[in-house]
Amino acid sequence: MRTGGWHGWSQTLADAIKLLTKEDILPSGADPVLFRLAPALVMGSALAMFAVLPFAPGIQFADLDLGIYFLLAIASLTTIGVIMAGWGSNNKWSLYGAMRGAAQAASYEIPLALSLIPPILHFGTFSLLNATEQQSGWGGMGWYVFSDAFWVAIPSFFLFLTASLAENRRAPFDLPESESELVAGFHTEYSGLRFAFFFLEEYAAMFATSAVATAYWLGGWNFPGMTLLAEGSAWLPWLGALAFLLKAMFLVCVMIWVRWTLPRLRIDQVMTLGWKYLTPLALGLMVAAAGWEAWRAMP
C-alpha cells in the first residue's frame, strides 16, 4: 500500500494502524502466560527509562539520585523480557534468538557500565540532571567531551555507543533477530500489535541510550549561545528541549546509519569483541580517568 503524502510523513501512522488491525495470534504450542507477559514487561521497562531523562530545565519526571545506575538496572529487565518471549513462544528460532540475546546483553553490559564510569568520576554524580547542569560552562559548551578530560571522554563516548548498540540488539549486533537465519529471532511468533511493542521498545531503548550519551557526554540541553538568554527566560526550556532532542536524534540517526552500513557479526565475533576487546579497553579507560580525576582533585 502506498501512502505517504508530503515526504511520506503519514507512513508511520499508516504502519501503526496496519499493525493495530492485524490478527493477534497465540500459537497453539506457546506458553500463554509468558507469551503475553513478555511484551508488557519489555514496554514497561522501556517507558520507565524515560522517567529519568532530563529533557530540559524543569522538564524531567523523576530526578533520581541514582539516575544512571537505575537505568542500567532497568535495561537488564528487558533481557528477561526477551528470554520470556523466546521461551514462551515454543519456537526453535525464538528460543535460539532469545538465548543469543541474553548472552550478548550480558557480555556487553559490563563494557557499557564501565564506559559510564569516566563521566561519573568527572561529575561525581549518578543524577543525569546534576551532570547536565555541570556542563553549562563556556556559554553552554562546557560539555564533557570538551572538558580537560576530553582524551578519555571521546573514547569512552564511542565505547558507550558501541556497547549500547549491542545492548539494544541493533545491527551489527542484531543476532537475536537475525532475519536471514532465525526468521525474526525471539519475536518470530509475535504478530500485529504484540510485535509492534517489541519494535517500539527497540527504538525507545535506542532513544534512551542516545539521551544518556547526550546528557553525560554532549552537554544535555546546554547549547552554544545559551547565556545570551535572560536569566529565567521562558524560552530556555523550549530551546533546551530542542537542543536535547536534536543531539539525541542525531545519535539515533548514527545508530540507524550504522545498521545500513555494517554487516552483521557472527556470534563468536560478537563475544570476542565484547570480552577480549571492549572490556579490557573499558577497564583501561576507567583506570586512566580515575588517575586523571584524582590527580586533578588532589588538594
Partner 1 sequence: MTGEVLAFSLFSAMAVGGAGLALFHRSAIHSAFALLASFLGVAGLYLNLGADFLAVTQVLLYAGGILVLYLFGLMLVPPEGEAPRPGRRALALVLAAAPVAIFLIAFLARSSWGDPSRLPEPEGTVRGIGLALLTPDGWLVPFEYASILLLAALVGAVHLARRSAPKDDSP
Partner 2 sequence: MYFEYANVLVFFLAGMGLTAAGLLLGSLIRPKRTTDEGLESYECGEEAIGEAWFRFDIRFYTIALVYMVFAVEIAFLFPWARVLKEAVATEGLGGAALLEGLLFTGILVLGLAWVWAKGDLDWVRSWKPSPPEEESK
The residue ranges that bind partner 1 (CB under 8 A) are 33-34, 64-66, 69-70, 72-74, 76-77, 79-80, 83-84, 87, 96, 99, 102, 106, 109, 126
Q: Which three cell numbers stand for residue 54?
A: 532530563
148 belongs to the binding site for partner 2 (CB under 8 A): no
Alpha-carbon distance 223 to 189, whole Å?
45
Toward partner 1, which CB reaches closer, 22 or 92?
92
Q: Which does 18 bind (CB under 5 to 8 A by kind): partner 2, partner 1, none?
A: none
Q: Which does 58 bind (CB under 5 to 8 A by kind): partner 2, partner 1, none?
A: none
Toward partner 2, which CB reaches closer, 107 or 147?
107
Identified binder of partner 2 from the candidate list 48, 59, 141, 252, rule CB under 8 A: 48
33 belongs to the binding site for partner 2 (CB under 8 A): no
Q: Which three cell numbers stand for residue 86?
A: 523466546
22 belongs to the binding site for partner 2 (CB under 8 A): yes
Identified binder of partner 2 from the candidate list 6, 7, 21, 231, rule CB under 8 A: 21
> What dihedral angle (degrees, nearest 10) is formed by the CA atoms of 161, 130, 114, 118?
90
* Contacts (Cβ under 8 Å, ≥6 apart) of 241: 55, 56, 59, 221
Identified binder of partner 2 from the candidate list 56, 75, 113, 161, rule CB under 8 A: 113
Alpha-carbon distance 13 to 4, whole Å?
9
Chain-centre distance for alpha carbon 183:
24
59 belongs to the binding site for partner 2 (CB under 8 A): no
Q: Which does 194 bind (CB under 5 to 8 A by kind): partner 2, partner 1, none?
A: partner 2
Smallest gap from residue 234 Cβ to partner 1 (A): 31
Identified binder of partner 2 from the candidate list 34, 212, 265, 286, rule CB under 8 A: 286
- What number of chain residues touch partner 2 (CB under 8 A)? 81
Give the sign of the dihedral formed by CA 248, CA 254, CA 256, CA 258. Answer: negative
193 belongs to the binding site for partner 2 (CB under 8 A): yes
With contacts defined by CB under 8 A, name the span among 117-125, 153-161, 217-225, 238-246 that binds partner 2.
117-125
138 belongs to the binding site for partner 2 (CB under 8 A): no
Smallest gap from residue 132 Cβ to partner 2 (A): 16
Alpha-carbon distance 235 to 230, whole Å?
9
Q: Which does 14 bind (CB under 5 to 8 A by kind): partner 2, partner 1, none?
A: none
Alpha-carbon distance 7 to 33, whole Å?
42
Contact predicate 56/20, CB 8 Å: no
Tally helices (H) and strands (E) across the chain.
Answer: 13, 0
* Contacts (Cβ under 8 Å, ≥6 apart) of 195: 19, 187
What's at 75, amino acid-wise?
A: A
Q: Give the ranges where 25-135 is alpha helix by DSSP (H).
A: 32-50, 67-89, 92-115, 117-123, 128-133
18 belongs to the binding site for partner 2 (CB under 8 A): no
